[in-house]
Amino acid sequence: MPITDLLRRNASLYPNDTALVELNPEVTELHRTTWKEYELIERPLGRAFRREITWSVFNEKANRCANLLLSRGIGKGDKVAILMMNGIEWLPIYFGVLKTGALAVPLNFRYTAEEIRYCLELSDADALFFGYEFIGRIEEIADRIPRVKLLFYVGDGCPVFAESYSNLVSNESSLDPIIPITDDDYAAIYFSSGTTGFPKAILHKHRSLSHSAKVEQAHHGQTKDDVFLCIPPLYHTGAKMHWFGSLISGGKAVLLTGAKPKNILSAASQEKCSIVWLLVPWAQDILDAIESGKVDLKDYDLSHWRLMHIGAQPVPPSLIRRWKSVFPNHQYDTNYGLSESIGPGCVHLGVENIHKVGAIGVPGYGWEVKIVDEDRNEVKRGEVGELAVKGPGVMTCYYHDEDATKEVLEDGWLFTGDMAMQDEDGFYYLVDRKKDVIITGGENLYPVQIEDFLRAHPAIKDVAVIGLPDARLGEIAAAIIEVKEGDTLTEDEVNAFCMELPRYKRPRKIIFAPVPRNATGKIEKPRLRQIYCGESLVKTQITH
């Protein structure tokens, strides 16, 4: 069943029930744009707001969007990019694109103008929806994206080089265009996070999207009564595919702007949220705020909150032990996945397996998993190798990149580039990225293991371990440590703490500095290597 059929079903069964809430507790200063005449009209600085739509309105908005695109010649096989911050318009536009039979192409809101241009060209985008935050970047490249025939601006105060989406769509029919779509039709192009180089275009069919909804419900048991708090950006597979659990169950979802601890707790309290997906830094910030007294849990009604789950990165067991000590009644789950496997869920811990915190878990619903050596032969349990997954959510290919596709796809198996091991009980543990392994004096060091150990220190907020060149050992491990606000930490104290580690695993260099993470919470190790090793970030040349 194509994912669009779930929206139609919800509009029929639950027309007057709330589907989406957009919650913006505060509006911060906006990026300047190069279009001087632009004035912020829709969202004045300093004013908080809340908006919501029902399933019926959601579906009608998607229909109007689809009919607008169809009237402009966009149809099956075309590509439509979306460059917008989270908001109540995002998902109706996404589904409007899908209802035409075209492919949705979500773009990372952190992309520079040149990265936007690169991704538009790589994906063969025919149209682009963009929001007010991106006026300057789109204006900069507008005359250098000739294939993109349609530029739709979403918001008030439309720039002169684009068309006002709100003005146009209001005149379109709200009736469903009913374009025939099957599970084998192409649905979307997503982009890899770029943590190992320039983003690749990942092609998925409708089957992948539909399976991700089934996986999410199977793992977390969403019902109509559940309310999902969504904070991460919708352009990424993680946030959207977790939201698919709300779609398949017909439940309400809350799109929250910002990730401050008070705002997360207030949203969960105000909207009676039962499921909250956090990134590691956000969970840590909440605990720090509670433990420091900046947040008082008595100010919030969190009685509906039943599940906290984390994905997108390795989760330190010490963090979950802290979380359970503060929220003993919460269920906990962690999910592993890639954009190439349509986001989270190809491996998951399971709420019943909290005794295995530290593991990424077992094969997800409908998934197969194995660990292989350099020749792609399965290794014995307990041995480290590359994690491979197989299931209905595996991508079709890297779009326009046959060589890169052949490197990671073989007989339906996706070779993830992540190093892992399986214990005697069948649980999988993420060791590290294959490209992040540090080889020091002939020994393999897995940075994630060292990072997990260091995060147990009470003064450490975040840490990243990378390899630095060394004339004698080849590489040495360096720990970039971000200290908690109000705490102090010295190199001697870190070295003393690390005495519990085997000698070869102890960091040889300690650097106190911020740890950069991308919008989905992953540590930006290429950026760190560029800063501390002088490595150049790999940038693929544009050849289109």
Q: Over the stretch 112-131, which tens digit does the pLDDT of each residue have?
A: 899 899 999 999 999 999 99
Which residue is listed with tokens 């199977």? Answer: 218
Average pLDDT of span 364-368? 96
pLDDT grade, residue 503 (50/70/90)?
confident
Q: What are phi and psi of 214, to 5 degrees?
A: -65, -40
Domain layout of the chain by residue ranges: 3-17+30-206, 251-433, 437-533
Average pLDDT of span 86-109? 96
User: Looking at domain 3-17+30-206, which CATH architecture does it have?
Assistant: 3-Layer(aba) Sandwich (3.40)
Helices (H) and strands (E) in the chain, counts: 15, 27
Question: Looking at residue 37, what is its pLDDT?
Answer: 32
CA dihedral 256, 24, 50, 84 (to 10 degrees): -70
Share of residues in the chain with pLDDT > 90 (%): 69
3 membership: H or E segment, kind and range: helix 3-13
How far is residue 361 from each of residues 52, 65, 97, 279, measured CA to CA in Å?
Answer: 36, 40, 35, 17
The set of residues, in sequence order, having a beta carbon less than 8 Å from that of 514 and lying 6+ positions away, is 482
492 membership: H or E segment, kind and range: helix 491-497
What is the value of pTM for the model shown? Answer: 0.82
- pLDDT > 70? residue 167: yes
Q: Over the stretch 301-342, which tens digit does the pLDDT of each residue have?
A: 999 999 999 876 667 788 899 999 999 999 999 988 889 998
123, 542 Cβ separation under 8 angstroms: no
Strands, E assignment, 137-282: 150-154, 163-164, 186-191, 201-205, 227-230, 252-256, 275-278
Question: Looking at residue 32, what is its pLDDT?
Answer: 36
- pLDDT > 90? residue 258: no
Question: Looking at residue 520, what is its pLDDT?
Answer: 62
Question: Looking at residue 475, what is its pLDDT?
Answer: 81
Range with lowest mean pLDDT among 14-18, 225-229, 232-236, 387-391: 232-236
- Common-topology check for domains 3-17+30-206 and 251-433: yes
Alpha carbon distance 148, 415 (integer Å): 33
Range with lowest mean pLDDT among 76-80, 192-196, 282-286, 486-490: 192-196
Q: Over the stretch 372-400, which tens digit does the pLDDT of each residue have?
A: 999 999 999 999 899 999 999 999 999 99
Question: Looking at residue 504, what is its pLDDT?
Answer: 77
183, 404 Cβ separation under 8 angstroms: no
Residue 254 tokens, joined: 């809350």
User: Looking at domain 437-533, which CATH architecture does it have?
Assistant: 2-Layer Sandwich (3.30)
The yes or no reply on domain 251-433 and CATH 3.40.50.12780 is yes
How far is residue 542 from each of residues 82, 130, 504, measured CA to CA in Å?
Answer: 21, 23, 42
Alpha carbon distance 388, 409 (integer Å): 9
Alpha carbon distance 247, 417 (integer Å): 31
340, 394 Cβ separation under 8 angstroms: yes
Which residue is listed with tokens 């070779």? Answer: 415
Average pLDDT of span 427-455? 79
